[in-house]
Amino acid sequence: MTNRLIKAYAFEKMARVYVADTTEIVQRAKDIHDLWPTASAALGRFLTSSVIMGAMYKGAFNRDDAELTLRIDSNGPIGGMVTTTNTHGEVRGYVGNPHVFLQYDSGKLNVGQAVGEGHLHITKNLKIRDIFTSSVPLFSGEIAEDFAYYFRASEQIPSVVSLGVKVNENNDIIAAGGIILQMLPGYKEEHLQAVEKAFKELPHISFLIEEGKSLEDILALITKDHQLLEELPLKYHCDCSRDKFERGLMSLGIEELRNLIEQDGKIETSCHFCNQQYLFDELDINQLIDEIKK
Ligand SMILES: [Zn+2]
């Protein structure tokens, strides 16, 4: 089963809504990083909102190659998080500390405490002009509220963001997903009220996905007044390569490379996003040094 996202107009076409199932993506992140439950919930919510945001730029400015890097710098035990995503439904990410398990008294995972206070930074490379980054303070560290705050403060778009990750006793991901609804220009107060009422009555997204509801079912639960626009498959995908790590090593310069090889006789690197290891022995490094000299 592959994850996907659907996009629709709703509320007399005065809102655009995205509904995504990201269960497999979050499970993959959990497997790669050995995430404990609260880290799964935090990174899972962040991956979900990131991949939906990437999908928002599909076709923007008649292009399809936008890339987004999202970063949370914060003081909680999780030690911050990074994701990258694009318009093709591909996303990857990591947390500073994967071994975090904090709960509220109710047993609910305490993502806000795990993340702590800090900032959300979103860097957009839309491939049309300069790359730009906008930053907002975190609202609560619960991720959904932080993104809603970002859309309102940074992009002046009233939005509803709902994100959820459910973890079982084996730390596996039973359900993960998200909904982002954004008001469109021309909306009236009555549309906002209708949206608020709909979301007040909507069961939590992770509960709906766990129950086996399809994305279309969930959209219909939000409102019958919708028009489906498109769907997009989603996946956890890392595009790292030995080539990219070679270029990274070359940027260190000849002297630093010589120091590193003198210390250990080899350089071991690994990708933060997927844990793929890349080993460079003395011969490899000498080749890189020759390459730099050229
Ligand atoms: Zn990688």
Which tokens go with 6? Answer: 């659907």
Query: How far is ligand 1, taken at its centre, from the CA of residue 261, in Å?
Result: 23
Which tokens go with 133? Answer: 């980054």
Query: How far is ligand 1, taken at its centre, from the CA of residue 25, in Å?
Result: 15
Query: How far is ligand 1, taken at its centre, from the CA of residue 123, in Å?
Result: 19
pTM, two decimals, is 0.94
Query: How far is ligand 1, taken at its centre, from the CA of residue 82, in Å?
Result: 13
pLDDT greater than 90 at residue 221: yes
Q: Considering only 8-12, 61-65, 199-203, 243-247, which range has the smallest mean pLDDT?
A: 61-65
Query: How far is ligand 1, taken at its centre, from the CA of residue 257, in Å?
Result: 22
129 CB-near residues (< 8 Å, 6+ apart): none
Query: How far is ligand 1, taken at its centre, from the CA of residue 83, in Å?
Result: 12
Q: How high is the pLDDT of residue 1?
A: 57
Antiparallel, parallel or unpaired: β 15-21 and 3-10: antiparallel
Residues of the chain with CATH 3.90.1280.10: 242-293
Residues of the chain with CATH 3.55.30.10: 3-236
Average model confidence (pLDDT) across the chain = 95
Instruction: Name the class of domain 3-236.
Output: alpha beta
Q: Taking the CB of residue 173, how many other CB atoms lie within 10 A of it?
A: 25
Query: How far is ligand 1, taken at its centre, from the CA of residue 111, in Å?
Result: 25
Query: How far is ligand 1, taken at its centre, from the CA of residue 242, in Å?
Result: 10
- Fold category of 242-293 in CATH: CBS domain Like (3.90.1280)
